[in-house]
Structure 1
């Protein structure tokens, strides 16, 4: 990475560059053998009191003492990926949100407050506050989607967010993204300055759809999914059966959860029957593998790919995704997306093999405990 002009290191950054993507070099060690340096690339999210905060594409924030800097400059956005479909962050964020639709929502400027919580009688305090917290089904349907300007100062907007979720007995979450052009590093910094805590870090990955549809259980191009072929035995339906829900790892699938799972432009559920007709405690046959796909224009959003632990590494997850991909192709889709938590190494390895690449990272920030008013 070149920082020099005529062989001389230069610091070509000012506080007016906050919000831009930058690259800096700083001293991390001084000794008899000389200085040791390290480079950091990310969005400059603040520069106050002699400290720079740079948010990397993963959402990690790096604090850098101004006195340690030896070079720095503004750099262009990360180069476009060479594989997979072209896509922007706003497009992907909206498609992913439509795949996990809330039961109720409210606009706050360009933000969308989203909730999917079981409706039930609520005990209220004298001021109308709900006693206790209730569970919402999936953070993706129970968090703010902040695409744009809330139409008011951030502190006022966050107060409204906390009030709205408190009225529903839920903790307040804001979903943010980092690591691509147009993502929300400055909002992440603003939330952390106000004490919001990052609880979940994940990746949104994309791929061309046709290669996924042409995979067999080994992960290689083949007959995948043809009757009698290596990917056969995958059943597709418009609604999840009792067995599908038994295999699904989330506990307590409620009426609201079913509404979220079945909502979307065109929803498909995949099931692979167990070889030995395994049955759950309720006597329902539990599938060996399941999956879900929402077809939305050119996009196919994959989720809920689960495999019986005793049947893993047999290609069932690949077979499920291939069958769903073929259905999505039949409906006119050409691109695939999915979301995977950063710590789920097994799933990330599978999606690597299927050709999915990371477009951006996303995080869920939870409001701090205490009073409604946030402090900077």
Structure 2
């Protein structure tokens, strides 16, 4: 906290510091309780009518009454990560987006509108569904990737976004990020102020690739350029559509790994997209009856070995914040969180989207 020459705490931030990273201390006690101080660090995303909003690294917004402040100051950006490869948010956002390519896209300034949809057969539509209603595969291929200025005022840009997705029978989603230099805490705050709902929060983790390849003997996994029937039999989404297959097979250099099982379904599967120095892992799944036997490590080792042969040296993956098993597995492999990402849904609910397909949903090793 900021301390004056006289030894007193001081508030040295104002509304002019919106958009900057700050550290504040507020008095949380009341007249009837002992004084209690609470510290908050994050990006100051608004200061209106005597109330500050600070967005923390994980995307949570904290509202603080100006009258409760006892100290505050602007602080430097979060220190550079000490584990894993160095990378900017923008680089990782672009690389991960290429790992789940949409079927169609359109530019709106520096925003990319992305969609991977197909028409739902008339007989499969719920009663009362509108004609032309569509289903989209994975939010990451059916959301806006905003990496700068849309070229329009925000309200006009969001109107254009909603219109574009509405024409495709889909709800409008905007994918944002928090917790790293150059992420979008201000945009998160503006979306929430306009009634957009944060539905999904996950994290993008990075790590060195070679230790993943050394984690286990890759000989037990079979690699293929396509997701065959056996791989799809283990995949968590049954009845994968033609559009889903296009998304799964998209990317600069895609590999699928399969560990054969005793029955028709494999014991474990995984997917990797090699893109320059990066290898992105996803869809790592293990037969529930065979977990805790190192099969996920075998899958990832086989994919990592192939990625190393293609010149990659760094790895990324996406994991849900509540997936304790996967987080423990990837921590053991040397991965660490780089930033959090979120999907915000428009206020009006229209259309359907499959859930995100984050890496290592089962978290088995």
- Which residue does the alignment assign to 1:324? 303
SS at match of 2:35: strand
Match of 2:291 among 312, 322, 335: 312
User: Where does residue 257 of structure 2 map in the other structure?
Assistant: 270
1:300–1:337 contact (8 Å) kept in structure 2: yes
In 2: Cα distance, 1:8 partner to 1:251 partner: 63
Relative to structure 1, is the Cα distance of residues 58 and 132 closer, same or farther in structure 2, using a 3 angstrom cutoff? Answer: farther
- Aligned-partner Cα distance in 2 for 1:315–1:118: 37
Task: Give the alignment partner of residue 353 of structure 1, picking from 329, 332, 352.
Answer: 332
- The whole-number CA distance in structure 1 between the counterparts of 2:348 and 2:131 is 15
Is the Cα–Cα contact under 8 Å of residues 28 and 38 in structure 2 kept in the other structure?
Answer: yes
- What's the counterpart of residue 358 of structure 2? none
Residue 191 of structure 2 aligns with which residue?
191
Task: Provide the rounded CA distance (Å) in 2 between the counterparts of 1:138 and 1:213.
Answer: 28
Cα deviation, residue 354, structure 1: 1.0
CA drift of 1:154 comes to: 0.5
Decide whether the 8 Å contact of 2:134 with 2:169 is kept in 1: yes
- In structure 2, the residue matched to 1:374 is none
Distance 1:115 1:272 in 2: 32
**Match of residue 110 from structure 1:** 110
Cα pair 2:176 2:342 within 8 Å, conserved: yes
Aligned to 2:239, the other structure's residue is in SS state coil
Residue 4 (1) aligns with residue 3 (2): yes
Contact 2:119–2:134 (Cα < 8 Å) also in 1: no
1:108-147 matched pairs, under 5 angstroms? 108-119=108-119, 131=131, 133-147=133-147
In structure 1, the partner of 2:357 is none
Aligned to 2:160: 160
Partners of 1:339 and 1:195 in 2: how far apart?
26
TM-superposition CA deviations, 1:249-268 (whole Å, max 9, x none): 02320110110011110000
The question of whether the paired residues in 1 share the 8 Å contact of 2:213 and 2:304 is answered with yes
Aligned 8 A contact 1:297 1:332 in 2: yes
Secondary structure in structure 2 of the residue aligned to 1:365: strand
Checking the alignment, whether the CA contact within 8 Å between 1:109 and 1:151 is kept in structure 2 is yes
1:233 aligns with 2:220: yes
1:79 and 2:79 aligned = yes
Once the 2 structures are TM-superposed, how far is the Cα of residue 237 of structure 1 from its aligned partner? Answer: 0.6
The 1-side partners of 2:233 and 2:135 are apart by 19
Q: How is 1:194-233 mapped onto 2 (pairs within 5 angstroms)?
A: 194-216=194-216, 224-225=217-218, 232-233=219-220
Q: Aligned partners of 2:251, 2:120: CA distance in 1, in Å? A: 24
Partner-residue secondary structure (3-state), 2:281: strand
| Aligned equivalents of 1:250, 1:56: Cα separation in 2 | 33
When the two structures are superposed, what TM-score results if normalisation uses the length of structure 1?
0.88
Map Cα deviations across residues 291-339 of structure 1 (whole Å, 9 max, x no partner).
Answer: 0000000000000000000000000001100110010000000000001
Tell me the CA shift for residue 5 of structure 1: 2.4
Secondary structure of the residue aligned to 2:81 is: coil
Match of 1:51 in 2: 51
Instruction: Output the CA distance in 1 between the equivalents of 2:135 and 2:58.
Output: 28
1:181 aligns with 2:168: no
Corresponding residue number in structure 2 for 1:244? 231
- Structure 1 match to 2:39: 39
**Match of 1:159, SS?**
helix
Deviations 1:149-184 (A, max 9, x none): 000011111011111111111111000000000000
CA contact (8 A) 2:120 2:133 kept: no
Report the secondary structure of 1:84's partner residue. coil
CA distance in 2, matches of 1:131, 1:25: 54
Report the CA distance between 1:32 and its aligned residue: 7.2
| Cα pair 1:12 1:71 within 8 Å, conserved | yes
CA distance in 1, matches of 2:141, 2:44: 30
Q: What is the match of residue 148 of structure 2?
A: 148
Corresponding position of 2:277: 298
SS of alignment partner, residue 253 of structure 1: coil
- Unaligned segments of structure 1, at least 5 residues: 123-128, 217-223, 226-231, 279-284, 372-376
